[in-house]
Structure 1
Amino acid sequence: MVNQSSPVVFFLLGFSEHPQLEKVLFFVVLCSYLLTLLGNTLILLLSTLDPRLHSPMYFLSNRSFLDLCFTTTCVPQMLFNLWGPEKAISFLGCFVQLFIFMSLGTTECILLTVMAFDRYVAVCQPLHYATVINPCLCQQLAGIAWAIGLVQSIVQTPPTLKLPFCSHRQVDNFVCEVPSLIQLSCGDITYNEIQMAVASIFIVVVPLSLILVSYGAIARAVLKISSAKGRRKAFGTCSSHLIVVTLFYSSVIAVYLQPKNPYARERCKYRSGCSQPSIGRITRSP
């Protein structure tokens, strides 16, 4: 998997060019992380301790566990980088972070789609909800989501970290992520870009399209409800999920579906020269 030319460490630059922001961001991210841990832990405890919530909150408890793992994969490293001048992460650490980060991110894409289907049945077919969304189907759909995430990470992580990287090994990000690592390569990245484009279609575009179709059907069903109270209740059933979908997919689209940067390779050569070692900017030096 790892060839002899693989770098020993990467340097996660983050906001190194704006050191005055790092301490402020540290406390903002720390508070957000603690709130995330507290909220998701409470959801897991409630759904576990109360038998009445096992089925209705099955997907929500899966997503809460997913969020706990997702944030813990990258936030501690981000806090460490924000607090001090040391930005290094080992090659093994980068591999583990990339593998878990991609697996959980893909799982969340699929799980949000499954939850959209759950909301569709709850609003459009409320009388059949208990029959359609039964415990067996919930377990199968959640298992498929986790399996797809694992397979996607197994397929895409090794080719990314096999790339010949520039000698400065400076990742312009807080985490080891596919787009940032691809931009760091000085070799041929055509295969990796095609792989990422195909994965983006099946993991981002298709699930998002299914979510939009589900909410289109939900919107038509809500408009047919005569009472304002019934419409508010239906909207309340879907509002939290819709907010999460909007925030999550807007971030994913910004990272994975943005136009190709034609200056990435030139920037790589300019900053270090890929044919020979250079010191480069590791922490906060200009």
Structure 2
Amino acid sequence: MNDIHIYSLETAEIDCCGNWLLYPESAPEKLILSFKKNGQLVPVLIAKEDGRNLLIAGRTRVAAAAKLGMKVSAIFVDAADDISRAVMHLEENSSRTVDDSLRLAVFRFFFARMDKTDLSKEIGPLLGLKLKSREMNFWLDWMDMEPEFDLLLAAGNIPLAAVSVLSRLSASDRISLLPYFEKVSWSRSNAVNFLTWLYETARREEKSVSELLKEGALDTARENESPKDAVARLCRSAKQFRFPHLSRLKRAHEKIVTEICAGTKWRVDCVGNFETGEVMLQTRFKSREVMQKAMDDLESIEKLQGWDELFELGRDK
């Protein structure tokens, strides 16, 4: 049972090193101003163990008091083990912002101490996650990932949703993919698409993803290439692996259109992925003269034989 009496302790009497203090310590400067004006309004939580005062919640308050040379107001609570201390710490900090880096630290802490069922039921709600939600399942799957991926997730290089594909790969295949995320930050859609296309291609070819990457000579980064360009190139290459016929159609389309539209401002795009055999013509103009030129160009390019070949691309898919 918790002792609701408020005690006054020296900051040096409080042990603030518990591994259950999962939320990062905030800068005490703003709290210092409040302490100077109003004093400490909210007591910290302390658990007693072997004569030591173990901090459960209130690290920033202790830091602010230490800088001011003040004593700390504290309430003693019953928290006899790491799990109960960490749960109480999370509950006391429930109003603070939660990000993936914090969720990762929390899940790793509890995963070492409880099974996945309890992790989902007892800890997920403390982090704003609904039981059996897709995101909750992602976190449970992430617990089986290698430590190297934790660093990438915490750094924002790889999104949590990537685990939906990574969890289906072998450990060796996952390790082979690490270099593609070490220096580049991926969006959720790009990362999931990239991994899905590689995974599906590997299954179709009856190869490992590691073998596919080697055979495809898929460079992780190129000199003077921006991160955005690197992601676009890797996604494009992975898609070509997955849909080789579609890639060939696109190359043939580009070749024909370049020849048809040479010297004009007309643009020809396929509709969808060549399923319909239809094309879309577009141009832009801002005067009657330019409009007339475009119409003359259209009349001229309409006579070219390349159109028949272009329409056949869709029918031959």
| Range into which the TM-score falls when normalised by the shorter chain | under 0.3
The structure with the greater share of residues assigned to strand is 2
Question: Using CA pairs below 8 Å that are at least 6 residues apart, which structure has the higher relative contact order?
Answer: 1
Q: TM-score, normalised by structure 2?
A: 0.20
Indicate the structure with greater helix content: 1
Larger Rg: 2
